[in-house]
Amino acid sequence: MEFAAKFIKKRQSMASSRGVRREEIEREVDILQQIQHPNIVTLHDVYENRTDVVLILELVSGGELFDFLAQKESLSEEEATQFIKQILEGVNYLHARKIAHFDLKPENIMLLDKNVPLPRIKLIDFGLAHKIEAGVEFKNIFGTPEFVAPEIVNYEPLGLEADMWSIGVITYILLSGASPFLGETKQDTLRNISAINYEFDEEFFCHTSEPAKKFISQLLEKDKKKRLTIQDALNHPWIKVKLYFSKAQEPKKRERRQLKTKRLREYTIKSHSSMPPNNTYVNFERFAQVVEDIDQMESSFVSLAAAHDSLQEDIDAMVSIYNEKEAWYKEESEGVRHELSQIRYEFRKVEAFKRSLQDDMQVFSSSLGAVSSRYQERQNHFDALRTELSNELKWVQEVMGVSQSEDVWWCSSKTKCTLFHHQHLLSRAAARINMSAVS
């Protein structure tokens, strides 16, 4: 199965005017994802790289409708209505879902396959499409000037009616090979649209049926309320009634067809030379290369994802180790904190004991000073007593020396009494010395 690719260049910055804003790309993708109809191109997938968004679309290989018809030798109204009806059916599907295309023009009306008796129409390019919401006013100036409705030119609220106007212009060109509002410049074209300045020139419409012209005029109505709706268009007599020609009319009919296709061919050549090419569909080989690049990128992403998973596992392991270490540290920190608390408590106890001991030492020092003073006093007193005793002993020794002589035995009683008195004094001195030694 083959596909086509539409490359949409992304706008790289808000200040840039090149490329398409992301919200516009997302709107187109969102609308394409909502629709599935035989006359509307199908979106299969979406890819994105750094510079582009790539829409993978159904391959529509039959080219543009107008190019196909211009190559034909002849064209009848019956054939035209078959193609217009397909356009209407595609638009009916959109309008039933309140989606306005806003860019219906020959370049966006393609053929799925031109090598069949009645090729199938495919509407493409939903870059300007919007979903019309009730109660929400929508205004914009966009589209291709030749096909835009007066409400776009005049910057008035827009709705589904703008597509019906574009269908009227497309039908006019299809049947005549001329554009109803095309001027020398873009400004001339817009002025013609705003003034509804068009006519069914006899040169171009001399062989066109009245129902066909009425169909066109009812679509090219400035008043949106009077303009045909999609249902009105599908039920219009020109669309529903088939035209038949007798064999007698065949030569004349063929001549008319040749004239129509010749003018249509001239129009398509002129429009292609004056308008940028439709780059919606590109060569499938280019898309294949893009798919290959995308596959390589996906492989790189898979490798990157695997590396990311491996790295994530390493990170998880490191986090686990860190958590364990942190828990151990907290536990150790609590133990150290408790030990420090105990040490501080013991230290405070030692400090208190030290202060108490210092106080006791000061008291002891004071007491020791008092004792030392008393000791010195006793020592002095003892020295005095010792001196006195020594003198008394010397005197006693002297007395005793005298008493040892024979003459002493005959001493008077007065002398004996004196001797006894000195002995008593010596006893008292010895007792005092002993008391002083004890103190």
Residues 214 and 270 in one domain: yes
Residues 14 and 80 in one domain: yes
Residues 335 and 188 in one domain: no
Q: Which of 180, 170, 182 is nearest to 90 (CA)?
A: 170
- Asked if residue 288 is part of any domain, the answer here is no
- Asked if residue 289 is part of any domain, the answer here is no
**Higher confidence at residue 398 or residue 295?**
398
pLDDT of residue 411: 45
Segment 148-169 mean pLDDT: 96
Of the candidates 52, 67, 103, 125, the residue annotated as catalytic is: 103
The domain that contains 120 carries what CATH number?
Answer: 1.10.510.10
- Asked if residue 287 is part of any domain, the answer here is no
Residues 69 and 175 in one domain: yes
pTM score, two decimals?
0.61
Residues 238 and 340 in one domain: no
Nearby residues of 92 by Cβ (< 8 Å), 6 or more positions away:
230, 231, 234
Q: How confident is the model at residue 251 (pLDDT cuts 50, 70, 90)?
A: very low
- Asked if residue 424 is part of any domain, the answer here is yes
> Which of 282, 312, 327 is the C-terminal boundary of a domain?
282
pLDDT of residue 75: 81
Residues 84 and 169 in one domain: yes
pLDDT of residue 248: 41
Residue 43 predicted with pLDDT over 70: yes
Q: How confident is the model at residue 252 (pLDDT cuts 50, 70, 90)?
A: very low
> Which of 282, 317, 346 is the C-terminal boundary of a domain?
282
Residues 371 and 399 in one domain: yes
**Higher confidence at residue 331 or residue 257?**
331
For 197-241, write each residue's pLDDT tens digit: 999 999 889 889 999 999 999 999 999 999 999 999 999 999 987
- Asked if residue 317 is part of any domain, the answer here is yes
Residues 71 and 118 in one domain: yes
Residues 274 and 311 in one domain: no
Residues 51 and 81 in one domain: yes
For 54-100, write each residue's pLDDT tens digit: 999 999 989 999 989 888 877 888 889 999 999 999 999 999 999 99
Domain count, the chain: 2
For 162-171, write each residue's pLDDT tens digit: 999 999 999 9
Per the annotation, the verdict on 103 as an active-site residue is yes
Residues 206 and 325 in one domain: no
Looking at the DSSP bridge assignments, the partners of residue 7 are: 54
Q: What percent of the chain has pLDDT over 90?
A: 46
pLDDT of residue 86: 97
Residue 42 predicted with pLDDT over 80: yes
Residue 420 predicted with pLDDT over 60: no
Q: Which domain holds residue 239?
A: 3-282
Residues 270 and 298 in one domain: no
> Which of 251, 282, 313 is the C-terminal boundary of a domain?
282
- Asked if residue 226 is part of any domain, the answer here is yes
Q: Which of 61, 171, 73, 175 is nearest to 114 (CA)?
A: 61
pLDDT of residue 72: 81
pLDDT of residue 284: 40
